[in-house]
Amino acid sequence: MIKIAIIGASGYSGAELLKILLNHPHVEIKNLYGLSTVGVKISEVHKSLRGMIDLTIESFDENNLNEIDLVFVALPSGESMKVIPKIFEKGIKIIDLGGDFRLNDLNEFTKYYKHEHSALDFLKNAVYGLSEWSENEIQSAQLIANPGCYPTSVQLALLPLLKNKIVNENFISITSYSGTSGAGKSATQSMIFSEVNESVRAYKISSHQHIPEIKQYLKHFANSEPNFSFVPHLLPVTRGIYTTISATVKKEVDENLINQIFEKEYSKKPFIRLLKNEIPELKDVVYTNFCDISWNVDENKNLVLISTIDNLIKGAAGQAVQNMNIMFGLDQTLGLLKCTEKKW
C-alpha cells in the first residue's frame, strides 16, 4: 500500500483527491493537514465524505511523516514552497498541485510568485507532470509540479499540432472559460453568487500566471515558441474548463492530416477522447479525468480546436493521481474512470 498524506486536504482539490484516493486499491490515507480547519474531522469539512473516512485535520509538522511514501500538496500559491523542500529532504515523493515549482525561468517566476529565495535553487528538482507528455520523467521523479488547469486544457490540444509544425506560429488565439471552483474555496466579493450568476467576464488579460507556464511547456514539449494571446473568462458554473483555440494551418494541411496526428499521439492514451468534428460540452467531462478534444479546419485553413476538462479533476486532483500511479509503476488509470475503447 502507498501511504499518503495530504496538505491542504480541507480545500476543493483536497476533497477531490480524497474522493479518488478512497476508491484506489493501493492507497492508504494516513494524515490530513489544513490551517483554519485544524482539529475538525475531514468528514465535517467535506460532508460528502461522511461515513467514508474517520481522520481529523492536523497542523502540518514534517516530523510526523515517518511512514509516509507520498505527500500531495494542495496549498495556495506561495505556500507550497515553504514546506516542500523540508519534505523533499526526507526522500519522500511529492506531488504539488499548485504553481510554485512549475516555472524554471526565474524572471517569469519572480513576476508571478512571491518566493523565498531559498526556494529558487530548488526549482530544478521538480518535473512538470503533464501526464500524457512526460511519462518517462514522471516515473523517476521525486517531486512533481502538477500542471495548472488552463495549461492542461490548452497544451493537450495544441502540442500534437505544434510538434508536427503544421500550425502557423505568427498568432494563436486562446480563449478559456472556467467554473468558479478554479479559484478555490476562499471567499472574495468577485466570486460570490450574485456577482458571477447570469454573467461572464474576462480577467487577467495579458497577465495571467498561466501564460508563462503555457509558453515554457509548448517550447519544452513541442520545441515551439508561437505568438499567442490567452484570455481566461469566469463562467457561472461550479466546475469545468472550456478552451477554444483559433489559428491558421499551413496551406498543405487538411483535416485528414490533423486526424492522423491526433490519432498517432493519443490513440493509446486512456484519458484523451478525440471528437474530431463534434462539439465538446462541459457536462461530458465534469467529474472525470477526461480531456475531450475536437478540431475543425475551413477552406481558408482556419483551425478551431476545442478542449474541455474538469478543472478539479484533470486540471488538478485527477491528473495528480494519474501521476502518482505513473510514479509508483501502477496502471495510470487506477482509481479513475477511463476509456477502454476509443470508438463511440
Ligand X SMILES: NC(=O)C1=CN([C@@H]2O[C@H](COP(=O)(O)OP(=O)(O)OC[C@H]3O[C@@H](n4cnc5c(N)ncnc54)[C@H](OP(=O)(O)O)[C@@H]3O)[C@@H](O)[C@H]2O)C=CC1
How far does the chain reach from its first CA to its final CA, in angstroms? 35
Task: For cell 480541507, name the residue.
Answer: 10
For residue 81, the partner it binds in ligand X2W, ligand X, none, with Cβ less than 5 to 8 A by kind, is none
What is the spatial distance between Cα 134 and Cα 61, in angstroms, rounded to a whole number? Answer: 31
235/309 Cα distance (integer angstroms)? 14
Q: Quick check: helix, strand or coil at residue 116?
A: coil
From residue 307, give the alpha-carbon distance in Å to each of 16, 62, 73, 210: 21, 39, 26, 16
By CB under 6 A, tell whether 209 contacts ligand X2W: yes
Binding mask 3-42 for ligand X2W (x = CB under 6 A): ----------------------------------------
Q: Helix 149-163 vs helix 255-266: angle between axes, to the nearest 10 degrees? A: 120
* Binder among 32, 141, 166, 234 for ligand X2W (CB under 6 A): 234
For residue 74, the partner it binds in ligand X, ligand X2W, none, with Cβ less than 5 to 8 A by kind, is: ligand X
Looking at beta carbons only, is 40 or 52 nearer to ligand X? 40
240, 282 Cβ separation under 8 angstroms: yes
99 binds ligand X2W (CB under 6 A): yes
Instruction: Check the CA dihedral 337-138-88-106 and report its sign.
Output: negative
**CA distance linking residue 53 with residue 210, whole number of Å:** 34
Asked if 231 interacts with ligand X2W (CB under 6 A), we say: no
Rounded Cα–Cα distance for residues 46 and 55 (Å): 12
**Residue 148 or 335 with smaller CB distance to ligand X2W:** 148
We find the least distance from the C-beta atom of residue 333 to ligand X, in angstroms, to be: 20
User: Residue 130 or residue 167: which is nearer to ligand X going by CB?
Assistant: 130
CB closest to ligand X, residue no: 11
Catalytic residue among 65, 149, 249, 327: 149
Nearer to ligand X2W, 210 or 269 (CB): 210
Residues that bind ligand X (CB under 6 A): 8-14, 34-37, 74-77, 79, 97-99, 148-149, 181-182, 184-186, 311-312, 315-316
Task: Name which of ligand X, ligand X2W, none residue 10 binds, using a CB cut-off of 5 to 8 Å depending on partner kind.
Answer: ligand X
Backbone angles phi, psi at 140, to 5 degrees: -105, 10
209 binds, among ligand X, ligand X2W, none (CB under 5 to 8 A by kind): ligand X2W
> Going by C-beta distance under 8 Å and a sequence separation of 6 or more, which residues neighbour residue 318?
16, 20, 271, 288, 289, 310, 312, 336
162 vs 234 by CB, closer to ligand X2W: 234
For residue 105, give Cα distances in angstroms to 101, 110, 133, 216, 313.
11, 9, 20, 8, 27
Q: Binders of ligand X2W among 173-192, rule CB under 6 A?
A: 178, 182-183
291 is catalytic: no
Residue 153 touching ligand X2W (CB under 6 A)? no
194 binds, among ligand X2W, ligand X, none (CB under 5 to 8 A by kind): none
The full length of the chain comes to 344
For residues 291 and 272, the answer to whether their CB atoms sit within 8 Å is yes
232 binds, among ligand X2W, ligand X, none (CB under 5 to 8 A by kind): ligand X2W
Q: Kindly state whether residue 131 participates in binding ligand X2W, applying the rule CB under 6 A.
A: no
The residue ranges that bind ligand X2W (CB under 6 A) are: 77, 98-99, 148-149, 178, 182-183, 209-210, 232, 234
Known catalytic residues are 149
